[in-house]
Amino acid sequence: MTINDVKHVKLVQWVNEIAALTTPDAIVLADGSAAQYDELVNECVEKGLCVRLNEEKKPHSVLFNSDPSDVARVEKRTFIAAKTKDEAGPTNNWIDPVELKKTLTGLYSGCMKGRTMYVIPFSMGPLGSPISKLGVEITDSPYVVINMMIMTRVGVKVLDLLGTDGYFVPCLHSVGKPLAAGETDGGKWPCAPMENKYIAQFPETREIWSFGSGYGGNALLGKKCLALRIASVLARDEGWLAEHMLILKVTNPEGKSRFVTAAFPSACGKTNLAMLIPTIEGWKVETVGDDIAWMKYGADGRLYAINPEAGFFGVAPGTSAKSNKNALIAASKNTIFTNVALTADKDVWWEGIGYDAPGPLTDWHGNEWIQDKSNKEQAPAAHPNSRFTAPANQCPCIAPEWEDPQGVPVSAILFGGRRPSTIPLVHMARNWNHGVFLGSIVGSEVTAATLDVKAGTIRRDPFAMLPFCGYNMGDYFKHWIEVGKAGDADKLPKIFYVNWFRKTAEGKWLWPGYGDNSRVLKWIFECCEGTAKTVDTPIGIMPTVDAIDRPADVSEEDMKELLKVDVDGWLKEVEDIRTNHYPKFGAHLPAELAEMLDTLEANLKAAKN
């Protein structure tokens, strides 16, 4: 099937307009077939863009390496081009949309010369789901095409759903480097200089234009760009939620199940939690999604969530049999690896995989690398933000409901981040608006998933949406409050704040995390059932010291510390929120959240006195 066979007039017209602008050598329609996927992979191998891995150890899998300047999301080159700067809000980069389109049109001119233009019709969410959205991405990167084939539902069935005039989000991408006659990409995917990288969202026209980067979040435009930045605008206008959240299913020993969503900043353990293997007997956790949740009210008045993705774009370093055995199994075949190290027998390796390097490696730069454990300054063999792209249906703990077009009913919503102190192991909001307040003040250590923010520092990342909200974040807070008002208070999910990352003053972990987080999920489950042991505190509803089953290596004193209300620490939080965080939003900050902050401060001062 070619683009000329497509019956959607506006789609064909748009493709022809972009082809005239970018001047590709050929146009190929992505049909979503296994044969086309294999053909594209073979082309990439033949051109030296990727390495085919060991068929016995990683069947039907490949490894790509990128240019060192193109390894993560680039927040300073990501723009929300709303009509006004105020509509984009204080947490987004803004350029006037007319000016930006003029700049980008100049960059796109002739940018696909020597390359093939691929047209990718895709569905975010199960085909035909009332919560799903359709998009079409134009790209000149075969890496993008094969990743999109794993991460979304691609192909002819999407065109069937579009029909002759169905709505789709247009997504335009180019690596930004035309090829001269006889020129090749030299073994790494190409990209433009940093000053010519643009990841642009146009909220009024629901368009995405990306130029100059081949990295996942910048180039797989169904992921962060559509599923969060544009979808958050659609959700605001249509009365639903598009969130940076995992979705998991928890089943107790009696066979009763509840579904939980959770929002953590990148590399804060979302995938690990989504694929958790419980350490408490009789409990079961299954995965619906590991990164994004779209939630709408169902006919019964409850919020229902879908995972709009079809695959996992997981961080490789730190993923091991201990931290996430299920992720390793999911990525054991039919997987695209990016910027990890290559072993002599063409398997993959990364720091934190759980075993030493099996001899000399080829690092992500393409150089020989020999592990030297005595050298604390040795550069890593795999980039800290290296990735695996694996089909979700390969995950051994995938929930049977993961592709239910109606979604799954949500009982609990978790917020959290990496905080070594102050924030307790878990506490529950008293009501929906209190939960919105907790989401609005989330803070976390910055990770390697972002190029241009120093790793290790703490920043506020409300709802884990700071880089992904497609409009003014103060109005986003208000939207959450309005969604709560639209529902029945008795049917709304309960909201929790968790922190697996507490440390002692000496830097010792207080909580083992990983599978033992199931012990916290059990208490959350019990809160939803109305059977949990709880105590009201100045910051919200907390477990009693004996409410959570303690792991063997957590002492009673440690548990008391994990569940302590650090009044002085929280008063410092209040001061930081009042002085540095909330003022950013000016008149857009909902009055309800300012009142919540006042109440928290009063509660803490009363407790101190």
77 is in an annotated binding site: no
269 is in an annotated binding site: yes
365 is in an annotated binding site: no
Q: In what order do the strands lie in the sheet with 311-315?
A: 50-52, 62-64, 336-338, 387-391, 311-315
44 belongs to the catalytic site: no
216 is in an annotated binding site: yes
Residue matched to tokens 């109305």: 530
Can you tell me the distance from the alpha carbon of 232 to that of 240, in angstroms, rounded to the nearest whole number?
9
Largest Cα–Cα separation, the chain? 77
267 is in an annotated binding site: yes
Can you tell me the distance from the alpha carbon of 204 to that of 605, in angstroms, rounded to the nearest whole number?
45
239 is in an annotated binding site: no
186 is in an annotated binding site: no
268 is in an annotated binding site: yes
385 is in an annotated binding site: yes
52 is in an annotated binding site: no
From 44, 268, 395, 469, the catalytic residue:
268
DSSP secondary structure string for all residues of 107-128 = HHTTTTTTSEEEEEEEEESSTT
272 is in an annotated binding site: yes
387 is in an annotated binding site: yes
430 is in an annotated binding site: no
- Residues in contact with 174: Cβ distance below 8 Å, sequence separation at least 6, in sequence order: 22, 108, 111, 112, 139, 140, 141, 210, 211, 212
Nearest residue to 477 (alpha-carbon basis) of 587, 353, 327: 587
Question: Could you tell me the two tokens for 206?
Answer: 């629901």
DSSP secondary structure string for all residues of 331-385 = TSSS-EEES-EEETTS-EE-TTSSS---S-EE-TTSSEE---TT-TTPPPSS-TT
Can you tell me the distance from the alpha carbon of 37 to that of 151, in angstroms, rounded to the nearest whole number?
13
Q: How many residues does this entry show for the chain?
A: 609
Q: Do 429 and 441 touch, CB atoms closer than 8 A?
A: no
244 is in an annotated binding site: yes
517 is in an annotated binding site: yes
Strands 293-297 and 311-315: unpaired
Other beta carbons within 10 angstroms of residue 219's beta carbon come to: 28
217 is in an annotated binding site: yes
Q: Catalytic residue positions?
A: 268
Q: Point out the annotated binding site for Mn(2+).
A: 224, 244, 291
Binding residues: 73, 215-217, 224, 244, 266-272, 291, 385-387, 418, 514-517
Q: Which residues are annotated as a binding site for GTP?
A: 267-272, 387, 418, 514-517
- Annotated binding residues for substrate, written as ranges, equal 73, 215-217, 266, 385-387
